[in-house]
Amino acid sequence: MTACTETTRVLIIDDHPLFRRGVGQLLALDESFIVVGEAASGQEGIELAKLHDPDLILLDLNMKGINGLETLRTLRDMGCEARIIMVTVSNAPEDLMTAIRSGADGYILKDNDPEDILRMVCNVMQGQTAISPELTSLLASALREESVSENRSHASLTERETAILKCLATGMSNKLIARELDIMESTVKVHIRNLLKKLKFRSRVEAAVWAVSNQMQ
């Protein structure tokens, strides 16, 4: 079974009690995960996020009341820095794109194998991209089409920004990028913010998938 290296405090937000229980049991297979809260609604999840300040939030997309996307936006707007992964049954490209652009760090389908779900969750905690494999091509295709209309090109990037984009494409965290390029982690964050602005992306996940689709890794 895949194992993460650092203790991760997890909040699960899903309106299906059986799924919350199943995810909790799955995470219990890896002793590095500690479930600090479970919420049956978006509003309850927002309150628990304020209370527990988790490292990771697993968030359902389709919930009654405040849905997952609204919950995600609220969490980001209030400054929540937790890694947030959408865990859903929806494979609709528009849901995927909206989630990523709203600040999701991953998008996992509930019907993936438990081992794969746990592996992707660990990937996110290591700063990598976590998107169910069957959806990666959909996201890449959408980004390619958008790139044509936006006239997007990495030619506008500096040499350092290009190097960092290539690192993002291989799934490296900010810490690993800093070590690889022998620069400060804070400097990496500044370069990432600048390259996202130049390429008109809202998240590093978008940039990473686009870079892979353009064979930049």
Q: What pLDDT digit, counting tens, does each position of 95-128 carry?
A: 988 898 888 888 999 998 998 899 889 888 877 7
- Arithmetic mean of pLDDT, 169-191: 90
Give me the pLDDT at residue 4, please. 60
The reply to whether 204 and 119 lie within a common domain is: no
Tokens standing for 87?
């865990």
Burial category of 116 from C-beta neighbours within 10 Å (exposed 0-12, middle 13-18, buried 19 and up):
middle
Burial 173-196 (b: 16+ CB within 10 A, else e): bbebbbeebebeeeebeebbeebb
Q: Is the pTM above the cut of 0.75?
A: yes
The reply to whether 109 and 187 lie within a common domain is: no
The reply to whether 191 and 88 lie within a common domain is: no
188 located within any domain: yes
Give the strands of the sheet with 56-59, arranged side by side.
33-39, 8-13, 56-59, 83-88, 106-109, 130-131
Count of the separate structural domains present in the chain: 2
The reply to whether 102 and 190 lie within a common domain is: no
Its domain, for residue 93, covers 8-135
Rounded distance between C-alpha atoms, residue 81 and residue 56, angstroms: 9
> How many whole angstroms from its chain centre is CA 114?
18
Please provide the average confidence, as pLDDT, over all residues in the chain: 87
- Arithmetic mean of pLDDT, 12-31: 93
The reply to whether 64 and 29 lie within a common domain is: yes
8 Å CB contact between 129 and 205: yes
Q: Is the pLDDT of residue 9 over 80?
A: yes
The reply to whether 63 and 12 lie within a common domain is: yes
Give me the pLDDT at residue 1, please. 45
CA within 13 Å, CB half, 216: 22
Give me the pLDDT at residue 5, please. 60
Residues 48-85: tens digit of each pLDDT: 999 999 999 999 999 988 999 999 999 999 989 899 99
More confidently predicted of 134 and 102: 102
